[in-house]
Amino acid sequence: MGVLIMKPMLLLMALLMPVAANAAPASKVAWTPERLSFVKNGNPDKGKALAASCAACHGDQGVSTNPAWPSLAAQNANYLYKQLRDYAGGERDHPLMTPIAQSLSEQDSADLAAWFSALPQPENPAVDTHNLDRAEKMVSEGDGKRILPPCFVCHGARGQGEKMDIPALAGQQADYFNQTLLDYKSGQRHNDIYSRMRLIAQQLSDEEIKELAQYYQQLR
Ligand code: HEC
Ligand code: HEC
């Protein structure tokens, strides 16, 4: 008798598990007016002192020392704050960044965001752009056939990012950019509110992602 009840119970649990996982919010950061002004009032001097511990990987001017790691200079402060809180809360996961973010308070995160966002944008050497035509078209026009919006409507015409939490892409390391889009595509990265980037990345080929990464790295 017990077994007969158990079996459907287990089946039901197995069916409900993925639903429950999907129902978890992409991020715990909610952009209330209070949260926006909290980040806006981050103290860049305190952030600078804390940033000494980030320099080995993200550079002392926010330009990362390894192309697989993201540059942080001139990045949108709200975006930086949100990523740090997402790593700390487990909504974004990485073996190097998760423990670091867990050691930071909300105030530390806002102070670091104020410091890195005020640094000048990384300038990468110009590259031969002849093979970036397809990427440029995706950025400025998107692809109506696949219902892909152009990247510029959110990330700005010069890849500068936009208010609220949309990151700047101009000057970002191509290797990091490539990998993080592949991570959205596979669902390994899932902290984008409303799945905005996962839905887009899923429709891009790996080749298109590589070209977009090169396009944005040379943009200034
Ligand atoms: C040991 C190397 C290392 C150190 C030290 C380090 N980081 Fe990182 N950081 C990384 C890597 C690698 C990633 C990309 C992880 C991923 O793909 O999710 C990253 C990602 C980030 C991101 C997300 C950037 C984006 O564009 O989405 C932020 C913000 C960040 N780090 C801030 C910091 C801050 C602030 C510190 C110092 C308190 C710090 N990191 C220290 C390696 C490091
Ligand atoms: C509907 C708005 C929207 C559009 C269109 C859009 N993005 Fe995004 N993108 C976002 C948001 C919001 C985030 C940050 C999500 C998060 O918090 O993880 C993001 C994050 C990213 C990141 C991660 C940046 C980092 O530092 O880790 C990359 C790379 C990116 N987008 C590339 C693109 C490309 C390429 C296109 C065009 C094919 C595009 N996006 C179109 C809204 C958009």
pLDDT tens, N- to C-terminus, the chain (220 residues) = 444 545 545 444 444 444 445 557 899 999 999 999 999 999 999 999 999 999 999 999 999 989 999 999 999 999 999 999 999 999 999 999 999 999 999 999 999 999 999 999 988 877 776 789 999 999 999 999 998 999 999 999 999 998 789 999 999 999 999 999 999 999 999 999 999 999 999 999 999 999 999 999 999 8
Whether 177 and 203 share a structural domain: yes
Whether 206 and 149 share a structural domain: yes
Instruction: Report how far ligand 1's centroid is from the alpha carbon of 15 (Å).
Output: 36
Is residue 108 in a domain? yes
pTM of the model: 0.92
Q: Name the amino acid, one letter, at 93.
A: D
Domain membership of residue 192 as a residue range: 130-218
Distance (Å, rounded) from C-alpha 6 to C-alpha 117? Answer: 55
Q: Is the CB of residue 213 less than 8 Å from the CB of residue 170?
A: no
- Give the ligand with the smallest distance to the CA of 96: 1
pLDDT of residue 41: 98
pLDDT of residue 14: 45
Whether 144 and 97 share a structural domain: no
Pocket-forming residues, ligand 2, beta carbon under 6 Å: 70, 82, 138, 149, 151, 153-155, 165-167, 169, 172, 177, 180-181, 191-192, 196-197, 200, 212
Q: Name the amino acid, one letter, at 180.
A: T
Is residue 65 in a domain? yes
State how many domains the chain has.
Answer: 2
pLDDT of residue 19: 45
Whether 41 and 112 share a structural domain: yes
pLDDT of residue 7: 52
Whether 112 and 171 share a structural domain: no
User: Is the shortest distance between the CB of 155 and ligand 1 below 6 Å?
Assistant: no
pLDDT of residue 1: 44
CATH number for the domain harbouring residue 168: 1.10.760.10
Whether 88 and 135 share a structural domain: no
Distance (Å, rounded) from C-alpha 94 to C-alpha 140? Answer: 32
Whether 214 and 188 share a structural domain: yes
Beta partners for residue 162, in sequence order: 166
pLDDT of residue 22: 56
* Of the residues 94, 117, 140, the one at which a domain ends: 117
The b/e string for 15-24 (b: 16+ C-beta within 10 A; e otherwise) is: eeeeeeeeee
Whether 111 and 180 share a structural domain: no
User: Is the shortest distance between the CB of 151 and ligand 1 below 6 Å?
Assistant: no
pLDDT of residue 220: 86
Is residue 136 in a domain? yes
Whether 135 and 110 share a structural domain: no
Is residue 13 in a domain? no
User: Is the shortest distance between the CB of 58 and ligand 1 below 6 Å?
Assistant: yes
Whether 161 and 102 share a structural domain: no
Is residue 197 in a domain? yes
User: Can you tell me which residue has the tokens 């806002």?
Assistant: 110
